[in-house]
Amino acid sequence: MNITVKVDEITLSTVVADTVAFDEDGDTYSTGQQTVAHLVAAQIVERLVKDDRYPGLRDQVMEIRREEIRAAVRPSIDEALARPIYKTNTYGERTGQQTTLAELIADEARKQLTEPADRYRSEKGSILQQAVRAEVQKAFQAEIADAVQKTRDLVIAEMGGDIAQQITKAVTAGLSKRS
């Protein structure tokens, strides 16, 4: 008994299996078809993941992916920012003149810069003032820390590396005179 299998042509789009899944009742349903291309891709992924160079390659692929998505989405974003819209109330009724989303965003940014951080107490300043104040404080603290470190290095250079011994001797001598 001879079994003969004849395959005319195999391409990447040749379907080799139907993929199925189970619903919440336990019944199966088709989720698609698996092609030779799917199997080849699975083999490539399996081999790449085992390679030491995979993390770098993955990062490169992800960066290319992000760039392609940005390029594809950018025209839609530009169109949405420039398209005329109307301000509406909570019921969706027009309340103002025609404007653009870009103008609304700019107006909201201006409000955020001048609006007090705490609506009940304005003595702490606006959001912008608080951010500037925090950055100045960080810069000032960094300058102070740098100056203290330079002074500490200078004292160690002047007194030598045995500063701890000199302090111990001075404290011991002072305590012995008290007795």
Q: Which tens digit of pLDDT belongs to each residue from 92-107?
A: 888 888 899 999 889 8
Q: What is the DSSP letter of 115?
A: S
Q: Which tens digit of pLDDT belongs to each residue from 11-58?
A: 888 888 888 889 899 899 888 999 999 999 999 888 888 888 888 888
Q: What is the mean pLDDT of residues 75-90?
A: 90
Q: Which two tokens stand for residue 4?
A: 């003969």
In whole angstroms, what is the distance from residue 61 CA to residue 71 CA? 15
Q: 169 pLDDT band (50/70/90 cuts)?
A: confident
SS3 content of the chain, % helix, strand, coil (to 5): 60, 20, 20
Please tell me the number of Cα atoms within 13 Å of 82 on its side-chain side.
6
